[in-house]
Amino acid sequence: MAKKDSSGKAANQSYWGGVFQRLGKNRLAVVALVVLIIMTLACFIVPLVSPYSMVQTNTDSGDQPPNATHWFGTDKIGRDLFTRLFYGGRISLGVALAVTGIQAFLGVVLGSLAGFYGGIVDAIISRLGDIFYSFPLMMMAITLVNILPGSSVFKLVVTLTVLMWPGIARIVRGQILTLREQEYMEACEALGISDFKRIFRHLLPNVLAYVIVYATMGMASAILVETSLSFLGMGIAPPTPTWGNMINEARNLLVIINKWWIWVPPSICIFVTVMCFNLLGDGLRDAIDPKMQR
């Protein structure tokens, strides 16, 4: 067992061990994490075990409300909405994960270079980020998805990545600017350690926690933008379902009033998923904050 100091805490507890211990005390964050795990597993398992295909149609059973055969009802051409809901979640979560991963990579690399070298490198990268920040997100997203070539998934991932990387880059740049003045970095320079090793071996591990927090909240933002574009008909193209294009028919007042089963389940999934990512991000931020260790 780990030895404990006078305050009762493990004396040799690792940094991440302390983070997860504090995160475990945040009930909302733990519940959010459990819900996200269940949601993700359901999105991958349900389409595999469902007797219906996501594109299987049956016009004789179109617009059915929830029943014993179709738990979440069917759409106007008879497709099973229960199967499409979770397959759509797989697409929405997959796109959000891809966007977050790529933008985190770009943000970390560019933010590290800007913070470490400063000067003209910092000026170019910072002004580039300011340019992307100066345009309304949805306006630029709508423009890019309409002019970029390729499949709808590719266009959506590229568009969201291009527009959302400056956030992580700014966080990494700010942390690197502070850390590069520390004594251990002066020692690295005196020992002749290369810039690459100083950045990626000695600086980045110290900002990784902040990147994880921002990326967690970035997942929520990516899901909201993707669903918004798909709702407007500019995201993932049918018949591939996403939560956004599943509620596209809710633009019709008759559907909103008389066919609630078409738009309520995906709307609830969007709300719950985004809320859970935000709660988890808040919990991670509190657990990582050094002030919380006092």
What residue has token string 């990387």? Answer: 165
Which is it for the CA torsion 110, 114, 116, 119, positive or negative?
positive
Please indicate, yes or no, if residue 10 is contained in any of the structural domains: no
| Parent domain of 191 | 86-293
Q: How many Å apart are CA 174 and CA 199, to the nearest integer?
A: 14
Q: What are phi and psi of 194, to 5 degrees?
A: -65, 160
* pLDDT tens digit sequence for 131-146: 888 888 888 888 888 8
Q: Give residue 271's pLDDT.
A: 93
Helices (H) then strands (E): counts for the chain: 12, 0
Residue 215 has pLDDT above 90, yes or no: no
Domains held by the chain: number? 1
Predicted TM-score of the model (pTM): 0.81
Question: Do residues 280 and 205 lie in contact, with contact meaning Cβ atoms separated by under 8 Å?
Answer: no
Please indicate, yes or no, if residue 223 is contained in any of the structural domains: yes
Please indicate, yes or no, if residue 174 is contained in any of the structural domains: yes
Please indicate, yes or no, if residue 248 is contained in any of the structural domains: yes
Can you give the CATH number for the domain in which 124 is found? Answer: 1.10.3720.10
Residue 293 has pLDDT above 50, yes or no: no
* pLDDT tens digit sequence for 42-80: 999 998 888 888 888 877 777 888 888 888 888 888 888
Q: How many Å apart are CA 182 and CA 179, to the nearest integer?
A: 5
As given in the structure block, the two tokens for residue 258 are 């008389």
Please indicate, yes or no, if residue 239 is contained in any of the structural domains: yes
For the ranges 30-44, 55-69, 110-124, the one whose mean pLDDT is highest: 30-44
Please indicate, yes or no, if residue 52 is contained in any of the structural domains: no
Please indicate, yes or no, if residue 273 is contained in any of the structural domains: yes
Please indicate, yes or no, if residue 271 is contained in any of the structural domains: yes
Which is it for the CA torsion 78, 79, 85, 91, positive or negative?
negative
Residue 147 has pLDDT above 60, yes or no: yes
